[in-house]
Chains A and B, each alone.
Chain A
Amino acid sequence: DAKTTQPNSMESNEEEPVHLPCNHSTISGTDYIHWYRQLPSQGPEYVIHGLTSNVNNRMASLAIAEDRKSSTLILHRATLRDAAVYYCILRPNAGGTSYGKLTFGQGTILTVHP
């Protein structure tokens, strides 16, 4: 499975934007870029995903580099409830034998200060 590299930790202040980077230089042409987050004492939660184009949803935005070797998860206004571990995951196309399983790294621990 292609690997991702994320900073171990980041800090932000409440109400400010947060940009969480992810490097995935070995991404293949059919890999989707997924972001999940895990709040304390909970299971992971889907945030957003994309293939080539930038994506927006109610939780966040995903900016994907033109060469797809990196991406950035953008939280437009951080709240205390956004404090979590954020995982950047490459998910192979569901065809074939990957069966859509997720390969998690260690993620980025986001701390949000009031």
Chain B
Amino acid sequence: DTGVSQDPRHKITKRGQNVTFRCDPISEHNRLYWYRQTLGQGPEFLTYFQNEAQLEKSRLLSDRFSAERPKGSFSTLEIQRTEQGDSAMYLCASRTENEQYFGPGTRLTVT
């Protein structure tokens, strides 16, 4: 399968713990996005990478959130000191000129 992959697909964690998600984009795509989606809402933009450079961050991305894309390949999204409000689906997408290809998402539940 050559689509966007995300790992893990599901994560349950206790409040206050740190979590890290991984996204592997389609190999030839140099543009990568992270979105967050809560129940009943459309996805919300979090951050954008072009190659290894993080070019835009939403104000939704508090200082507890950090994203990296070393070497411009896979990307990681880390949430420190998780809160119950962080419970959501975290989606990664990579992009051609006209289309964004989304991964299946990581569903985070903070208890």
Question: Which of A's residues lie within 8 Å of B, judged by CB?
Answer: 32, 36, 41-46, 49, 85, 87, 94, 97, 99-107
How many residues does chain B have at the interface if contact means C-beta atoms less than 8 Å apart? 26
In contact, B43 and A44 (Cβ under 8 angstroms): yes
**Secondary structure of the B side of the interface?**
strand
Kindly state the separation between the CA atoms of A72 and B98 in the bound complex, as whole angstroms: 19
18 contacts between A and B (CB under 8 A): A32-B98, A43-B91, A43-B102, A46-B100, A49-B99, A97-B56, A99-B48, A100-B95, A100-B100, A101-B33, A101-B45, A101-B48, A102-B33, A102-B100, A104-B35, A104-B44, A105-B42, A106-B42
Contacts across chains A and B counted by CB atoms under 8 Å: 57
Chain B min CB distance to A111 (Å) = 15
CA distance A6 to B25 in the complex (A): 30
Other contacts beyond A42-B105, A100-B100, A102-B35: 4, CB < 8 A: A46-B99, A49-B98, A49-B99, A106-B41
Task: Tell me, rounded to whole Å, the shortest Cβ–Cβ distance linking B105 to chain A.
Answer: 5
**B55 contacts A99, C-beta separation under 8 Å:** yes
Q: How far is the CA of A19 from the CA of B43 in the complex (A)?
A: 23
> A104 contacts B43, CB within 8 Å?
yes
B56 touches A43 (CB 8 A): no
Of chain A, the residue at the smallest CB distance from B40 is A106
In the bound complex, residues from chain A placing their C-beta under 8 Å from that of B100 are 36, 44, 46, 100, 102
Contact present for B102 and A45 (CB under 8 Å): yes
Q: Assess whether B31 is in contact with A100, with CB atoms less than 8 Å apart.
A: yes
Which residues, 24 to 44 on B, are CB-close (under 8 Å) to A?
A: 31, 33, 35, 40-44
